[in-house]
Amino acid sequence: MFRRILHFCMLAALLCMVSVSCTKEEKVELELSATEVEVVMPKAFFNVTSNRAWTLSQSGDYTFSVSPTSGMAGTTAVNISYTPNTTGKERSSTLTITADGQTKNVSVFQPALEFSLSPEVLEFEAAESTKSIIVTTNAAWNIDGITVPDWIKSISAKNPAGNGEIVITVKENTSRISANTWLLRVNYAGSLSKTVEIMQSAAYNAPPTKPSGLVPENNATSISVMPDFSWTGSTDADGDEISYYVYLSQDGTNWKRFSAGKATSVALPNSYGILEPNTTYYYKVVADDAHNKGITESDINKFTTSEKDAYADGDFKLYMESKKSNPVVLIFTGDGYMAEDHKYRGAFDTDTDEAIEAFFDIEPYRSYKEYFTVYKLAAYSPERGLSNKSTNSIKNTKFGLLWDGGNSTGINCPNDGAAVFEWCKKIPGVSDASLADMAIGIVINADVYAGTCLSFSNGKSIAMIPYLRTGSNMTKFGNVVRHEMGGHGFGRLSDEYVNYQSEMPESKKENTALWQDFGYGLNISLYPAMSDSPWAHFAGLSDYSHVGMYEGGHYYAKGVWRPEVISCMEDNRNYYNSPSRFYIVKRILEISREVDPIKKDDSDQVKAQKMKILMDKFLAKDVEKTDKNSSNTKSGWGGVPYDFVPLGSPVLIIE
């Protein structure tokens, strides 16, 4: 009985203990410090407070980096990491915290990135002053760490964690010439940046006075299509040097500008060519002192041009025209002549006219003038003159001719004259084929004694002749024209100079024989007997007893012979020896097709017949049947003056 009572008591006590324990168990507690978190500052977080262990899960259109994602009972800070939002739209996510079956949510969102700077161009006057740039943003930012220019006195950033400002102070700009400019770069959101242009005006400058006295005068008529402009110069209160610009227009609205430099007059530049004839133009002159706001415009004048009175670049003029059905064509062009030199009766016109007259002022060209058609072809050069290799003085000219200079009279033509030949094709009928029967003369706008001819195996030639305005008897411009273009270029004659007191080397003889096969250099002989010479057909002619065999020529004193004592090819005198005249006439008659050319495959009999026909025609018209070599003309070797300077050797090109 006692045992039963004891067991009952123990059981009652146990039930009582269980009942007490159940009534004391705590309920689940879960609290969050925020239900919404905006992530814009450097840090974002919220606290989880719970009496139970908890876990965190995430859902939504963007996943943020969250730490930690679980925790024990107590208070725990949950940190949210993020990258800058540069997508242009808001990011959002829902964080769900669960503790022993109880859940609570936190909405996390990140707005689209905002960043702007105002103004985007910050302008300062010349005086020292302070201005601000307003920064509007939801991101952290900083001023780029580049070197600040000296003219900025100070620069500082306020509140670089969000909306803020940049304060800039500039020093006084005392320069009347230069404004100050600098790009300020502001970095934000890690790797992005924007710039603000900082500008400071130059100091005050007194502009020049207005140009006046413009010529052509307002409403002027009959003005050249290649006009000259002039005006009364401006003054400047600050004493600054003044440059001038001319503005030209056909409608008074759309202007083209060209510079006059410091001068108060200027010709129409090369690039303009010539103006339209009988056309109204407007123009004004602008004075510029190259300082701040230092530009002053003249009044606008207008003028009307005349009929065409100048060559455009590439224009040609027929100087004379042959009535022959197959005329011999000569082309005279220029190098080193600027646009303004191409007015009718200007420098190009008068210089080429003189060259043409000089070409025909010698026999046999004088007597055969009717066989020739002659053109003048304009060629604008940006600069006047001739490049000099010895002094490295380079001129920008149309064809880029280069004089050796120093003790040399040689002239080089780039690319074997390709540009010259192409330019000459502007004349109708001129082609690669027809060039072989022509001669080209380039008159060079340079007062020097020099000259060279490019001679091609097929007959093409380019004689380069500077316009020497002084010179002694044998070095005058006309003498050089006759030697280079009449002798080498068209006549295909060799020089008869003696530069070496030695015998011609065999290699030179072989080259000379090669060129004689092309019809070049038939005024010299490699053999001492007249019967073996290219002028054997003069033997026994009573009027030509002065034609013989004279040793020396083609640069050597021995082993080569010339037909007369002296001629144009020896010292530029106004006389071609008799065989030289014959071969010039032969070429004229062959090109004009008045005789059949002598061919290599002709029989000896046919060659003799053709030669007789040529000789009869030559003798019938030749007027130089006297000896031009009287003793009073002789002063040096073979009659050449002791102080005579030979011209450059022709450049022989096989083509």
Question: Rounded to an integer, what distance in angstroms lies between the CA atom of residue 607 and that of residue 623?
Answer: 25
pLDDT greater at residue 600 or residue 359: 359
Burial 394-416 (b: 16+ CB within 10 A, else e): ebebbbbbbbbbeebbbbbbeee
Which residue, 200, 135, 146, is CA-closest to 170?
200
- Residue 81 confidence class, pLDDT cut points 50, 70, 90: confident
Q: Please tell me whether the peptide bond between 68 and the residue prior to it is cis, using omega within 30 degrees of 0.
A: yes
| CA dihedral of 398, 399, 400, 402, whole degrees rounded to 10 | -130
- Residue 18 confidence class, pLDDT cut points 50, 70, 90: very low
Question: Rounded to an integer, what distance in angstroms lies between the CA atom of residue 38 and that of residue 446?
Answer: 84
What are the counts of helices (DSSP H) followed by strands (DSSP E) for the chain? 8, 39
- Sign of dihedral through CA atoms 59, 60, 61, 65? negative
Average pLDDT over residues 263-273: 93
Strands 36-38 and 70-71: unpaired
Q: Over 80: is that where the pLDDT of 462 sits?
A: yes
Q: What is the pLDDT of residues 329-348, one digit of tens each?
A: 999 999 999 999 999 999 99
Please say whether the beta carbons of 520 and 453 come within 8 A: no
Least confident of 42-56, 214-228, 308-322: 42-56
Q: Over 90: is that where the pLDDT of 397 sits?
A: yes
Q: What is the pLDDT of residues 233-260, one digit of tens each?
A: 999 999 999 999 999 999 999 999 999 9
Sheet containing 121-124, strands listed edge to edge, beginning at the edge strand earlier in sequence? 121-124, 192-200, 180-188, 141-143
> Which of 26-30, 71-75, 184-188, 283-287 has the largest mean confidence?
283-287
Please say whether the beta carbons of 566 and 573 come within 8 A: yes
Average pLDDT over residues 301-306: 98
Q: Over 50: is that where the pLDDT of 8 sits?
A: no
For the record, the structure tokens of 260 come out as 């006059």
Average pLDDT over residues 22-50: 83
DSSP 76-130: EEEEEE-----SSS-EEEEEEEEETTEEEEEEEEEPPP-EEEE-SEEEE-SS-EE
- Residue 645 confidence class, pLDDT cut points 50, 70, 90: confident
**Chain position carrying tokens 């001038």:** 244
For the record, the structure tokens of 54 come out as 């908890």
Q: Over 50: is that where the pLDDT of 22 sits?
A: no
Least confident of 121-135, 376-390, 462-476, 516-530: 462-476
Question: Rounded to an integer, what distance in angstroms lies between the CA atom of residue 190 and that of residue 405?
Answer: 67
Q: Which domains does the chain have, with CATH numbers?
A: 30-110 (2.60.40.10), 115-200 (2.60.40.10), 223-305 (2.60.40.10), 310-492 (3.40.390.10), 496-627 (no CATH)
- Residue 24 confidence class, pLDDT cut points 50, 70, 90: low
Q: Over 90: is that where the pLDDT of 521 sits?
A: yes
For the record, the structure tokens of 509 come out as 């003889």
Q: Over 90: is that where the pLDDT of 539 sits?
A: yes
- Angle among Cα 528, 652, 575 to the nearest 5 degrees reads 60
pLDDT greater at residue 149 or residue 18: 149
Beta bridge partners of 402: 387, 412
**Which pLDDT score, from 0 to 100, does residue 19 have?**
43
- Angle among Cα 54, 60, 61 to the nearest 5 degrees reads 150
Eight-state DSSP code of residue 484: I
Least confident of 273-277, 365-369, 637-641: 637-641
Burial 488-499 (b: 16+ CB within 10 A, else e): bbbbbbbbbbbe
Q: Over 60: is that where the pLDDT of 230 sits?
A: yes
**Which pLDDT score, from 0 to 100, does residue 409 have?**
95
Residues of the chain with pLDDT > 90, as a percent, come to: 82
Residues of the chain with pLDDT > 70, as a percent, come to: 93
Question: Rounded to an integer, what distance in angstroms lies between the CA atom of residue 10 and that of residue 1?
Answer: 14
